[in-house]
Amino acid sequence: MLKYRLPPLLVWPATAFLGAFLVYPLLLTVAISFDEFSALEGMKPAFQVGHYKTLLTDPYYHGVLLDTLRISLIVTLASLIIGYPLALWMTRLEGVWKAIAMFCALAPLMISVVIRSLGWLVILSDTGVINQLLLATGIVSSPVRLLYNEFAVIVGLTEALLPFMIISLLVSLQAIPNSILQAASVAGAGHWIVFRRILLPLSLPGIAAGSLLVFAIATSSFVTPRILSGGHINMVANVVVDNFLVTLNWPFGAAVGILLLIVVLLVFLLQHWLTERILGRYR
């Protein structure tokens, strides 16, 4: 067994790296989130839960959290609905066509989020391509407001995160042998039944992984929401950034960050429980 023979030495660099740059900062963040803060004196070490209390009782932050969850959920569903047929189609391709399709699907990752968001500004603005088209065809008489609202943020995030969904789906779809689909088909299952009873459950792990990935990245995004909402919509990460960089209220920012982490972990658990339940129904 290869697993057994790998010397622990090989794992040390990764362990040390993650320890130094993930676990330690995380613990630090937890510690800071209990500190006191005043505008005049800055941070003072303490152990009090005031920041969490504010977060949980102030309606403004409820709104931010709900906006973030709603936008992330819609982005996740949208990238799943767009990504699934695309990934399915890509598994059917062969050779150079597969490589080209793969490149096209993943190419967006090579361009900075800032530049891509600015690109959406051009497309969605009142004088942008879409509005010009709508005006020219007479469907609308005055430009539709596409920018600086939730719609723009959702479009921008979906486009930015779609590659992550496609990669996850491809991995699990490619692992399904064609003969299994053929076996279902010969046994009398039409396309819909093959999809619902075979393809869907067998690709569920990929759906779950991709959804979680997209959801987690969406909840922690701050560039795209800021640019495409023009600052009208604050997502959780925007609050964190503002507290750390603008008001320098690190303790409160840390508390927001920890809350976000807990929310994502809860979603992860929910997702895991759901997947197991759904798969259990087929057994």
> Shortest Cβ distance from residue 191 to other proteins (Å)?
9
Instruction: Map residue 127 onto helix, strand or coil.
Output: coil
Distances from the Cα of 21 to the Cα of 14, 27, 212, angstroms: 10, 11, 23
Q: Which is nearer to other proteins, 198 or 254 (CB)?
A: 198
> Shortest Cβ distance from residue 227 to other proteins (Å)?
43
Q: Which is nearer to other proteins, 38 or 179 (CB)?
A: 179
Q: Which is nearer to other proteins, 202 or 255 (CB)?
A: 202
> Shortest Cβ distance from residue 205 to other proteins (Å)?
10
Q: Which is nearer to other proteins, 96 or 115 (CB)?
A: 96
Instruction: Map residue 118 onto helix, strand or coil.
Output: helix
> Shortest Cβ distance from residue 195 to other proteins (Å)?
13
Single-letter amino acid, residue 143: P
> Shortest Cβ distance from residue 194 to other proteins (Å)?
8
Q: What string of DSSP letters covers 37-101?
A: EETTTEEE-----HHHHHHHH-HHHHHHHHHHHHHHHHHHHHHHHHHHHHHHHHHH--HHHHHHH
Angle among Cα 280, 192, 78 to the nearest 5 degrees reads: 80
Q: Which is nearer to other proteins, 93 or 107 (CB)?
A: 93
Structure tokens at 159: 């486009």
CA-to-CA distance for 156 and 117, rounded, in angstroms? 6
Structure tokens at 202: 């067998």
> Shortest Cβ distance from residue 162 to other proteins (Å)?
27
CA-to-CA distance for 233 and 228, rounded, in angstroms? 9
> Shortest Cβ distance from residue 80 to other proteins (Å)?
20
Q: Which is nearer to other proteins, 199 or 239 (CB)?
A: 199
Q: Which is nearer to other proteins, 172 or 219 (CB)?
A: 172
Return the beta strands (E) in the chain as ranges. Answer: 36-38, 42-44
Residues 6+ apart with CB under 8 A from 130: 123, 124, 144, 146
Binding site for other proteins (CB under 8 A): 177, 179-180, 182-190, 193, 197-198, 201-202, 279, 282-283
CA-to-CA distance for 124 and 167, rounded, in angstroms? 27
